[in-house]
Amino acid sequence: MTAADLVLAHSVTIPDFPKPGILFRDLTPVFSHADAFRAVIDEFAERFAGQFDAVAGVEARGFLLSSALAYATNTPLIAVRKAGKLPGEVIREDYQLEYGTASLELRPGQLPEGSRVLILDDVLATGGSCHASGRLIERAGYVVAGFGLVLELADMTGRERLAGYPLHAIMSE
């Protein structure tokens, strides 16, 4: 089975979460299935081979993906956190959600300037968190090597917001 087949077989759609009218795509069952999780990480490693110096994970499910890929490829890992979670100097980027607003933060100076950073997250919907993460990476003096997503919601505007960046979604619906 392909990574996309395994994602489809193990993901769950939860209606009305976190609020009425939202269909939440839960990929945590994919992560709890060893073969599916390995297939996802292997696909990212193959797709972006040689194109990144470090991996960034977007809180929270992006942490699972990025830590596994960083380990598998022996590359540094940086975390893009929700506001107020990192001590010390941080840079902050605000963005819109489908159902509100939020902020992400990054601690600058973790990598050499110009490092190519691959950003990973689970689902691409409006692209708000990925776009904000990309802005943080660039403001920290790094280069966005691309975005790796497990699932792209094709009827949303996420891909448009990330135009100009390499983007790979394992599956689209």
Does the annotation mark 25 as catalytic? Answer: no
Does the active-site annotation cover 98? yes
Given the residues 47, 98, 107, 135, select the one marked as catalytic. 98
Strands (E) in the chain, as ranges, are 12-15, 23-26, 54-58, 77-82, 91-97, 100-106, 116-124, 143-152, 167-172
The answer to whether residues 59 and 86 touch, using CB atoms and an 8 Å cutoff, is: no
Which residues have a Cβ under 8 Å from the Cβ of 30 and sit 6 or more positions away?
Answer: 6, 7, 10, 11, 36, 37, 40, 150
- Token digits for 155? 């009827």
User: Catalytic residue among 59, 61, 105, 116, which?
Assistant: 61
DSSP secondary structure string for all residues of 24-54? EEE-HHHHTSHHHHHHHHHHHHHHTTTS-SE
The residues annotated with a catalytic role in the active site are 61, 98
